[in-house]
Every structure is written in C-alpha cells, then in structure tokens.
Amino acid sequence: MLGKIDQYLSFNETALSLRAQRQELLASNIANADTPNYKARDIDFGSALQNALAGKTGNAANLNTTAQNHIGRGKPSGDLLANGTPVMYRGDVQGNVDGNTVDMDVERNQFAYNALRYEAGITMINHQIKGLLAAIQGQ
Amino acid sequence: MSLFNIFNVSGSAMSAQAQRLNTVASNLANADSATSPTGEAYRAKAVVFEAVPQQSGATAVRVREVVEDPSPLKQVYDPKHPMADDKGYVSMPNVNVVDEMVNMLSASRSYQTNVETMNAAKTMLLKTLTLGQ
C-alpha cells in the first residue's frame, strides 16, 4: 500500500525536485549577471523529467552544427545535477563584451515561470493528498 | 535541499554587489582627494567578481580582488594648490563620475534583483511547508 502511495505521488515529487534544482541554477545565473566570463546555464526540463521518471541519467540533446563557426546553442557544460541531469549552457543571443552570457530578461522570465510551475506542482500534490485523505475517511 | 542553496547564492551576490556599491561610494567621496596616505592622489577602485561553483551545482559569486584604476591621474593647473608641482599642475584622482554613477545604478539594480530572487525562494519554501494541510 505504501508503495502505491509512493507511486501515486512520485511524478509530482520528481517534477518538484527538478524544479527546485532548476530554480537554483537560475538563481546562480542571476547572481552572476555581472561576473566576467560567466556562462549562463540551464537544464532541458522536459527531457530531464522524462529521464528522471524512467530512472536513467539523460543525454544532453544537442543541435547539429555542420560548420566550425556555428554557434552551438545549448551546448552541454559537462556538469551534471545530483540526479544525473546534464547542465547545458544557454545559447547567447547578444554577446557581452566581458564574455558573460547572462541575459537578465530571459533569466528573470524563466525564474518567475519556474517558481510558478513549482507552486503549481505543490498545489497538485496537495490535491492528491486531499484525494487520499478523502479515500481514507470515506466521508 | 536545493531551494535553501538559493539563499547562499543570492546572499553571496548581494554581498558582492554591496561591496561594489561600497567602492563606488568610496570613489565618489574621494573624487577630489588630491592626496592620500601614500602621498599620491586617490586612484579609482573597482571590484573583480568571480564565479564560485558550489557542490550542489549552483554557482555563487564573490569579489576576487579590488583593483586600482591604472589610468593616468587628471592634471589640473592650480599653482596656488599646496600639492602643485613646479609647473603649477596638481595630480587629481582619475575618478570618472559618470562611470561611477552608472556603476552605482547597475550595482543597486543587481542587488534588488537578488533580493527578489531570495524572496521568490522564500515564497516557494513557505508554500512547500503547507504541503498536506
């Protein structure tokens, strides 16, 4: 029975944990908005969630670059999150003179979006718990 | 728990930006200091930020060093000044007030953004505490 409850909640739990880790990365980007040569980093949430649910560590999705001077958008940074999700560099649209690739508009946008999705995830779990409680009490 | 790390990351950025604001204040305050303990005119100072990777995968920030602006000091002709050389020129600080104002705005905006980041993390954590209620 406990296993079933675990299973019942595991999707949202995995999603929340990934959201929290992504939030941390986005906070790092915002914190380092003025650090020379800092490269903005992020994860591909969709594939990360699929991989986490399937219980495997993911491969970084990559665009093909057919020439040496193509800008590799979303190149893997070689770092992994705790659950094996590859952390990727954000493709920069407007380069900065000091080599920093943090675009504050993008980061704040994603930060707010991610926070909202996190809270949505909490609401989902709350409803699941309410459903379970209703089932237990049978009233 | 990752969300708690946001406090460390944003906190490090806030103290780094505060230090940057501190150098701006010092530069503006000393924009006319013709002499200093070294005997030379004051030189503009700037902070160098450095990214500090954390164990959790996040990246904090710290001030690696405070550097002095090596550009030449302003030469002002004022023969009555006690620090004037034999040609009547006084070396004045190489502080560019416009640069400093821009730096000040940038630092205070970055500081505000990090405060907001921290607030968002706080809201998320508080929301997490209401789970199952």
**Nearest-Cα residue of chain A relative to residue B122:** A115
Residue with tokens 């305050």: B29
The string of DSSP letters for A67-88 reads STTS--TT-EEEEE-TTSPEEE
Determine whether the interchain pair A82/B133 forms a contact, defined as Cβ–Cβ distance below 8 Å: no
Predicted confidence (pLDDT) per residue in B37-54, tens digit:
888 899 999 999 999 998
How confident is residue B23, by pLDDT bands cut at 50, 70 and 90?
A: very high
Q: A99: which DSSP letter?
A: S
Q: What is the pLDDT of residue B3?
A: 85
**Nearest-Cα residue of chain A relative to residue B128:** A122
Contacts A108 to B, Cβ<8 Å: 113
Q: What is the pLDDT of residue A56?
A: 67
Show the tokens assigned to B110. Answer: 């970055």
Option in B9, B106, B123 nearest A24 (CB): B9
ipTM strictly over 0.90?
Answer: no
Q: What interhelical angle do A2-31 and B97-129 show, nearest 10? A: 170
> Which amino acid is present at A72?
G
Contacts A119 to B, Cβ<8 Å: 123-124, 127
Predicted confidence (pLDDT) per residue in B71-122, tens digit:
999 999 999 999 889 999 999 999 999 999 999 999 999 999 999 999 999 9
Q: What interhelical angle do A2-31 and B2-29 show, nearest 10? A: 10
| Residue in B110, B123, B118 with CA at minimum distance from that of residue B10 | B118
Contacts B12 to A, Cβ<8 Å: 31
Q: What angle do CA A92, A95, A96 make, to 5 degrees?
A: 130
Residues in chain A predicted with pLDDT less than 50, given as ranges, are 60, 63
> Which amino acid is present at B112?
Q
